[in-house]
Structure 1
């Protein structure tokens, strides 16, 4: 959905230098919400919304970053990078460079142009796409090649330590490691993963409720603290349980009364969601789309009622999806409190589904949604090599 030639032309016009261009996709999570920081399982897919990064060297010792989306340029001294972010869009690309510098790489003067079509604030991980595209571009420029899981971890650290958002590893990992026509079941404990094929006759329809959210907000922090409270209670009885990944529903029956009511509910979501996520990968591998749809429906109810991270608009969007043609499964995706729903839909009915859902949602809520028919795409990659090479 992006045109690298547009970025190439823009970069050449601005910096009089041919760029190398890299792309990193956004993502949609098919199932597995708020399980990542419990060292559990998630199953995202990279999508055909992406950030493009064009890069070329400079000889004046400056790092110059231009965002076409924001129509703004930022300039930094390559020899004296900031230690922390400044709450600006440039924190995301700059943070990736700071983490690479921390690994012992000298970041040279460079021009970096960014252009993306991942919708901001919709839960499709525009920030991770910027970080991964930047990291891939800069490592190419300095002549190093990181294994993709390692690259993803560096980009996660950029968001945690430089930007100041306490995200898990999923967004950066799928952006770096996604595969065309596949979802990816990721074990957030050891970063092992397996690919689960998405059949050619299944479309990913992403429906934006147009209700914005931010994972840096207080709700995310509160939920995470409640999850950790529940794990700590269980650990008093079972010291081997460091994260809810290691806990069971039986543990909640035994010791749930020692938790706050909210912590008990959050834990029930995380523990059952882990089980559902692994089962959903098995269902995809077995081509059992009916079971996958059932698991997605169950996941949404858990996310809405036990984790209480949905909202009226998202619940409405999911409810209305079930009355549209071709639906396989629907649920709220991403960090919660708004954002997008993911709908798996029969490919031949995807456009009819999109139009019907848009009309129903607008009628029900008075909000005109953005709905995109997507497919699972490859992870970050080089798009155009510099013509000077």
Structure 2
């Protein structure tokens, strides 16, 4: 789902469909002439970019994402029945389901909405039928959590006014349950957490074991630039679930040595080095990435606190190498984007971001280098890969809620 934004920056994919609140409201009222204009609610839920902490969330480690100002938006009106009907404004596709019918998943975008409805019901929340329209300026399958944004927008729509009374972290956990238990993707909490709890101009440090979190101010003299490789990813069709199973296999083996080990969060570098011989070679590489990545997240926080941007860049680079060589989820396209960014003066840090197997890189860039980076990537990347990149100049944003 992609949409136009008035004044959209170069590089954003534009389809010319309604996206502003008044446009979404008008699109809904045009499709549903019986709707009361005063009853229409417009909801936004942001995507996210992860600065560092990749695949650590489901290993109960640390993550450092930021919600971004690329988002899913819905205009909805509650109905008196139990039917959910939504129209995608980019394709015109209309789809729906009954809240009480136990709709089987079919691999479509509607799974994420039905899964959220299922999880809300499982958690004991009352939901309402609705009609609405949905649009987004998030590229799909890019590693920017468009699915989590759909889930959070759906949760706000289904809960109605009661959504404002639900703790944002609790709502994120409900949406994660929908993705795990209904959609079938064994994702961690990071994506839904960032979309629900985001804070403008801040990243979010989340401890995925205790669920303690805090906002971390981003340097005012740096810009966030996301480079989309043009190579899409499909999470449930990738090796994502396999990576999680490999991490669980490492935990099962290491717990025989130390029964206190419940996740890779509990494994120290020293213990892994001493007991590595017990692990399958591939499983050992996966564990090595997770153990080191948790340490990198905390090190990045320390470096940001100390304004040590050189260290931040080194930690991003080490994280990318680990994802490429140990977790094996990078791609030639992502590697090319990182190499090009590393060659531009003023790019402080660059690495792949998201679940992997295609998608995007995240870059921390000095303001006067943003356009240089864009020009270099747009000039050189197609020749290296045969693909067209998309440059997204993004800002850290607030979490999901009502626009109008």
TM-score by length of 1: 0.94
In structure 1, which of residues 40, 47, 65 is the aligned counterpart of residue 68 of structure 2? 47
Per-residue deviation, 1:103: 2.7
8 Å contact from structure 1 (residues 57, 141) kept in 2:
no
Per-residue deviation, 1:83: 4.9
8 Å contact from structure 2 (residues 185, 241) kept in 1:
no
SS at match of 1:368: coil
8 Å contact from structure 1 (residues 252, 268) kept in 2:
yes
1:160 alignment partner in structure 2: 180
Measure the CA separation in 2 of the matches of 1:124 and 1:105: 28
2:10 alignment partner in structure 1: none
Measure the CA separation in 2 of the matches of 1:156 and 1:129: 11
Measure the CA separation in 1 of the matches of 2:197 and 2:163: 20
2:394 maps to 1:381: no
1:11 alignment partner in structure 2: 28
1:63 alignment partner in structure 2: 84
Distance 1:324 1:139, change over 3 A: same
Distance 1:347 1:233, change over 3 A: same
In structure 1, which of residues 228, 231, 234 is the aligned counterpart of residue 254 of structure 2? 234
8 Å contact from structure 2 (residues 67, 195) kept in 1:
yes
Per-residue deviation, 1:270: 0.3
SS at match of 1:241: coil
Alignment of 1:55-134 (within 5 A): 55-78=76-99, 80-134=100-154
Per-residue deviation, 1:5: 2.1
SS at match of 1:236: coil
| Residue ranges of structure 1 left out of the alignment (5+ in a row) | 385-389
Distance 1:139 1:257, change over 3 A: same
- What RMSD in Å do the two structures reach over aligned CA positions? 1.6
Using the TM superposition, name which of 358-367 and 296-305 deviates more.
358-367
2:15 alignment partner in structure 1: none
2:265 alignment partner in structure 1: 245
Q: Aligned residues, how many?
A: 383
Could you list the per-position Cα deviations for residues 152-180 of structure 1 after superposition, in whole angstroms to 9, with x for gaps in the alignment?
A: 01100111111111111100000000100
Measure the CA separation in 2 of the matches of 1:311 and 1:168: 22
In structure 2, which of residues 202, 213, 222 is the aligned counterpart of residue 182 of structure 1? 202
8 Å contact from structure 1 (residues 107, 142) kept in 2:
no
1:387 alignment partner in structure 2: none
8 Å contact from structure 1 (residues 203, 347) kept in 2:
yes
Distance 1:228 1:105, change over 3 A: closer
8 Å contact from structure 2 (residues 128, 158) kept in 1:
no
SS at match of 2:206: strand
2:9 alignment partner in structure 1: none
Alignment of 1:322-361 (within 5 A): 322-361=342-381
Per-residue deviation, 1:143: 6.6
| Residue ranges of structure 2 left out of the alignment (5+ in a row) | 6-18
2:392 alignment partner in structure 1: 372
Per-residue deviation, 1:97: 1.7
1:30 alignment partner in structure 2: 51
Could you list the per-position Cα deviations for residues 109-143 of structure 1 after superposition, in whole angstroms to 9, with x for gaps in the alignment?
A: 31132111110011001000000011112222457
